[in-house]
């Protein structure tokens, strides 16, 4: 049994789940905080779904965008990462934030999810980096939503390393460098730019 999406009225929002009523039937979907933030009880919404069918249960996982569903599917494709861990990870960041964390080797963002330890985070970063890099290459992209992806040996990479030494995660630092002139600014200027951006948030 497969559902590509559910299109109906949101009738319940609870911790990590929502209920979408379609044709008089309420479908319970496990979901993320990111998706829930875009839903409202009584509002018509569409959730893109992943169905898990086991001997003892059928579970539906629902997401506000195909982009987030794709991230979920990538995560559960990693050995040792189940649906609950995948939901937890996507609840502490956005799809763009997740991809950025993988591309920059940012363990801190991944381990911020409850129940996700360092070993699992390292496995996720190792197994998904090439896949996500390949996806970005298909679109000839050097950034995720305007956030620079550091090239090996670049000034951006050196600036991220300097910010990491100051205690900032790679995704925090990369977000702060959004909009910076990474082609012309020196490493020191990039670091100052990022620190100013973080102070102003």
Structural domains for the chain: 5-64 (2.40.50.140), 66-141 (1.10.150.20), 143-201 (1.10.8)
Q: Which residues of 38-59 are buried (b: 16+ CB within 10 A; e: fewer)?
A: ebeeeeebebbbbeeeeeeeee
Half-sphere exposure of 20 (CA within 13 A, CB side): 24
Task: Give the pair of three-digit tokens for residue 187.
Answer: 């490493």
Give Cα 45 distance to the centre of its chain: 21
- Residue-by-residue pLDDT tens, the chain, 201 positions: 577 899 999 999 998 899 999 999 999 999 999 999 999 999 999 999 999 888 788 899 999 999 999 999 999 999 999 999 999 999 998 888 888 888 878 888 899 999 999 999 999 999 998 888 766 544 334 445 555 555 556 777 788 778 877 777 777 777 788 788 877 888 888 888 888 888 776
């Amino acid at each position: 049994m497969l559902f590509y999406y559910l299109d109906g009225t949101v009738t319940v929002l609870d911790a990590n789940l929502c209920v979408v009523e379609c044709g008089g039937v309420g479908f319970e979907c496990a979901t993320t905080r990111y998706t829930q933030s875009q839903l409202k009880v009584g509002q018509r919404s569409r959730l893109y779904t992943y169905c898990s069918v086991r001997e003892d249960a059928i579970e539906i996982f629902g997401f506000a965008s195909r982009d987030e569903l794709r991230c979920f599917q990538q995560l559960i494709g990693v050995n040792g990462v189940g649906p609950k861990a995948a939901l937890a990870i996507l609840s502490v960041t956005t799809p763009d934030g997740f991809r950025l964390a993988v591309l920059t080797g940012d363990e801190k963002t991944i381990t911020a999810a409850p129940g996700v330890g360092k070993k699992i985070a390292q496995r996720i970063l190792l197994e998904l980096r090439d896949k996500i890099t390949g996806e970005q290459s298909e679109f000839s992209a050097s950034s995720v939503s305007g956030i620079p992806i550091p090239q090996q040996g670049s000034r951006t990479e050196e600036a991220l390393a300097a910010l990491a030494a100051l205690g900032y995660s790679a995704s925090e630092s990369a977000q702060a460098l959004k909009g910076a002139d990474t082609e012309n600014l020196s490493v020191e200027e990039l670091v100052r730019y990022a620190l100013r951006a973080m102070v102003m948030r």
